[in-house]
């Protein structure tokens, strides 16, 4: 699985002109899965993301986790994280997971985050979405379970 994490002061996702999810301070996550992904990758990412210390403490150091600050997550599925741009100018998405499998991984990932009492808003798997965010920092971190 691949996840692009952005620390945000706010984020939202709109589908067909309707607000689907909105958060305040926390993480905006773009989430992609491939066919070889399963519970091991999901558990790894949930642990890393929930414990990631990138929020400022009283001394101004990035020392607090999303759990520590009571933050929220906006999770949006994004198969284009598996774009292969090695040949030509049109990306290939052959590395992205089968949609049924990828959706199951995405849903399990969000469920596991919610099980930690982290509020999670989502987009809609496979939908054409418009995402807005205010990147705080900016802080952007990429997770790839193939390179853990």
What are the tens digits of pLDDT across the range 14-69?
A: 999 999 999 999 999 999 999 999 999 999 999 999 999 999 999 999 999 999 99
What are the tens digits of pLDDT across the range 55-105?
A: 999 999 999 999 999 999 999 999 999 999 999 999 999 899 999 999 999
Concatenated DSSP letters of 19-63 = EEEEESSEEEEEEE--TT--HHHHHHHHHHHHH---EE-TTS-EE
Instruction: Kindly state the helix (H) or strand (E) to which residue 112 belongs, with its residue range.
Output: helix 99-114
Q: Is the pLDDT of residue 148 over 90?
A: no
Domain ranges of the chain: 2-147
Instruction: Identify the pLDDT of residue 132.
Output: 98
Sign of CA dihedral 90, 94, 98, 104: negative
What is the average pLDDT across 117-143?
Answer: 96
Q: Is the pLDDT of residue 4 over 90?
A: yes
Specify the CATH architecture of the domain 2-147.
Answer: 3-Layer(bba) Sandwich (3.50)
The catalytic residues are 78-80
Both tokens assigned to 128: 């054409």
Instruction: Identify the pLDDT of residue 47.
Output: 98
Instruction: Identify the pLDDT of residue 73.
Output: 98
- How far apart, in Å, do the first and last CA atoms of the chain sit? 10
- What's the pTM? 0.95
């Amino acid at each position: 699985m691949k996840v692009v994490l952005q620390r945000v002061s706010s984020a939202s996702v709109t589908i067909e002109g309707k607000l689907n999810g909105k958060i305040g301070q926390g993480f905006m996550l773009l989430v992609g899965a491939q066919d070889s992904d399963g519970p091991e990758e999901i558990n790894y990412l949930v642990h890393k993301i929930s414990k990631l210390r990138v929020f400022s403490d009283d001394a101004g150091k990035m020392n607090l986790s999303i759990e520590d600050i009571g933050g929220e997550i906006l999770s949006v599925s994004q198969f284009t994280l598996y774009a292969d741009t090695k040949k030509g100018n049109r990306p290939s998405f052959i590395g992205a997971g089968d949609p049924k499998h990828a959706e199951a991984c995405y849903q399990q990932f969000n469920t596991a985050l919610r099980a930690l009492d982290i509020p999670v808003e989502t987009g809609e798997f496979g939908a054409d979405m418009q995402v807005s965010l205010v990147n705080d920092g900016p802080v952007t971190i990429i997770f790839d379970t193939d390179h853990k």
